Structure formats: C-alpha cells, structure tokens
Amino acid sequence: MALYDIAAGLKPLDLGQTLGRLDAMQANRLQAEAAQGQLADRRALNAAMAQHGPALFGSDPAARRSVAVRIDRACREQGFFYVVGHGVEAQLVERLERLARQFFALDETSKLRWRMELGGRAWRGYFPLGGELTSNRPDWKEGLYLGSELDAEHPEVRAGTPLHGANLFPEVPGLRETLLEYLDATTRVGHRLMEGIALGLGLEADYFAARYTGDPLILFRLFNYPSQPVPEGLDVQWGVGEHTDYGLLTLLHQDAIGGLQVRTPQGWLEAPPIPGSFVCNLGDMLERMTGGLYRSTPHRVARNTSGRDRLSFPLFFDPNFHARVQPIEGLPEVPEQDDSARRWDQANVHAFHGEYGDYLLNKVAKVFPQLRRDLL
C-alpha cells in the first residue's frame, strides 16, 4: 500500500487547483492502483496532478474552504501528504539535483573543506557518512546543512543565536545561487501551507504568521544516501532511523529512487516518489499546538541498495527560534494526549515549556553530540 492512498484521500493536494480537484477518472485510477499497493504509472500521475488554475487560496471563498478541508483531513489522519502544483519550477529542482550530485561526487577530503565545524554557531556545513546520529546510531547518509542566509550584521547573528548565520556554500559553480533560489521558493510554499492549515483548524489564515512564522526559522538539508556496503563493525541499519521532525512543517523533495517509510496504525508504509511533488509532514510543535489533534508522525529512510545514490532535500519550516509554543484554544480535546510510550524517543511533546529554540537545540544535540560540546 502506498502512502498517498491514506494521506490525502488518494488525491495529492494540488496547490495549483483552487478547488483541489482531480479528474474523476484519473482519481479512480490512482485509487485502484494504490489499493493494489502499486506505484502508479509515471505518465498517469503526471497527467493527474497537472496544474489547472490560479495559486492556492485565491479570492474564491469556496475554493479556500475546499483546500483547507483537504489539508485538515490529511493532518488529522496521518500527518503526511503530497503537494503538487506548488509553483516551484521543475527546472529549479532538476538544477539543484544536478549540482548536488556534483558536490557529493567530490572526494571526502574536498567535501570536508566545508565541514560543519567551520560553520560555528550557525551549525552549517558538510558532514560525512555516519556523521549524523538517530537514536544514538549512525545514519547511512552524508549531507550539507543550510538555512536562511544571514550576514554578520543580522541581529540574531550579532547576538550569537545558534542556528543563525551564513551558509558554507561549496565551490560548485551555480550551487550557491540555485540553493538560495530554492530556499526562497520553498519557503513561500511553507507560508501558503501554514495558511491552509490555519483555515483547516477554523482559524484566521494568518494565525501562525502572526504568532510564530512571521520570521520563521528555516533549516534546509541536502542529503545523499550512497548505494554502497556498510563497513564491517559499524552499527548501521537505516539510511535514517525512526524519528519525528521537531518544528511545524517539513517539505521534502526526493528523487526517483525512494526509501521514505511512514509509521501508521496499519504498520510501516512506503511513501514513494511522485514526480513534481513535495512530501509534507507535520512536526512536534504542530502536534503540541493542536493538543494531539494533529500528529507528528514517525518516519524513517531505508538504507539505499538500489545501485544508485539517492538524493533528498528536506526543508524544515519552523517557528521563530524565540517563540513560546502554546496550545491553540478552542480545538476539540484529544484523549490520551501523552503518547510518549509509543514515541521513538519516549518524549511527551505536550509537556514542553519554553522557547522553541530550547526544544530544537536539545534534539539536535543528540544528532551531533560533538558539536553540542564544542559550540553550546
């Protein structure tokens, strides 16, 4: 069974369709293929998810309600959904893939010229295979940490706020410009989706922007999952072990290889690549805000054995570093809010009090314990 048959009613959410509709015949075909546990034919998916109108949340109130209802359903049922028609140009994504592959194809000595230790408190730069931990075990991936580009005069940089600062851009021609363009485009999608989430909850469209994301914390990663054996003696089981994301919303581009898996009440399900889409999932802070009405769903990435390297680009759309995340008033109460016994980290996100930055640093410190000791 593929994820899109449970996450959004078999219909990937098209931000280019104000009414969020798919052609009935195409939708039925998706449903039949998903029910059989098959990845739909690429051409059929491309046709089914073609853009058919103006941008999300135009002037039509009925259109806004329709899209918001679909977002709300996906957030309540699974916390994962696909988004198409998002306005991020395919040529931009393809260019970033090509340039990322050029960077990861460099030898390790060259890539370590941009190692994370040189990024300082901004926590930016490259880490090698096995350099990131999940649940105290190394993940079989390498990556480049990035975020909003802030110069030395930015108030947060002057204050020494962790996770704020300049990026370490590898010297691959065109990569810096492409990364900044991609960050800008996907951040705009994040703002639009948070408007949809607000409307789905019965709130004003600017609810999150007014309280948490007027100046969001944007963190971005280029990940490469090599298709190569794990050295003997290294305790590696997954590309990324089971985890949840920390903030509000993640927008993930994954290449054609796949490997993302989502934990549901029915068991672990594949979230296969769908051309032109982002996979979106909710983070811990949105679960806390909604009192568990929306869930931060555990997920993992299988170790890549495809014979080709796999790329994924997650953008984390998070509350402002200094925001104090509070429950949203007036939402339906959820029994058994504390699900720590079932969580991968045995944490109760509803018990957290403080600034979002405190929560985030505590989590990230477990991923890079050496950086925690050196920098914080």
Q: Could you tell me which residues are beta bridge partners of residue 2?
A: 270
Per residue in 333-365, pLDDT tens? Answer: 887 667 777 777 778 888 899 999 999 998 888
Q: Using an 8 Å Cβ cutoff, are 246 and 288 in contact?
A: no
Which pLDDT value is given to residue 202?
Answer: 95
Per DSSP, which regions of the chain are E strands?
13-14, 80-84, 125-127, 133-134, 137-138, 142-147, 217-225, 240-243, 249-254, 260-264, 267-270, 278-282, 299-301, 310-318
Which pLDDT value is given to residue 373?
Answer: 64
Once rounded to an integer, what is the mean pLDDT over residues 19-30? 34
Which pLDDT value is given to residue 16?
Answer: 54
- Paired tokens of 72: 């709300």
Residue 25: φ, ψ to 5°: -65, -40
- Single-letter amino acid, residue 118: L
Q: Would you give the distance in Å from CA 307 to the centre of its chain?
A: 25
Residue 166 CB neighbour total at 10 angstroms: 17
Which pLDDT value is given to residue 364?
Answer: 84
Which pLDDT value is given to residue 78?
Answer: 87
Per residue in 142-163, pLDDT tens? Answer: 999 999 999 999 999 999 999 9
Sketch out the chain's domains with CATH numbers: 80-200+207-375 (2.60.120.330)
Q: SS3 for 95-106, per residue?
A: HHHHHHHHHHCC
Per residue in 289-331, pLDDT tens? Answer: 999 999 999 999 999 999 999 999 999 999 999 999 999 999 9
Once rounded to an integer, what is the mean pLDDT over residues 18-28? 33
Identity of the highest mean pLDDT range in 11-20, 211-220, 367-376 = 211-220
Which pLDDT value is given to residue 149?
Answer: 98
- Single-letter amino acid, residue 136: N
* pTM confidence score: 0.86
Q: Using an 8 Å Cβ cutoff, are 255 and 285 in contact?
A: no
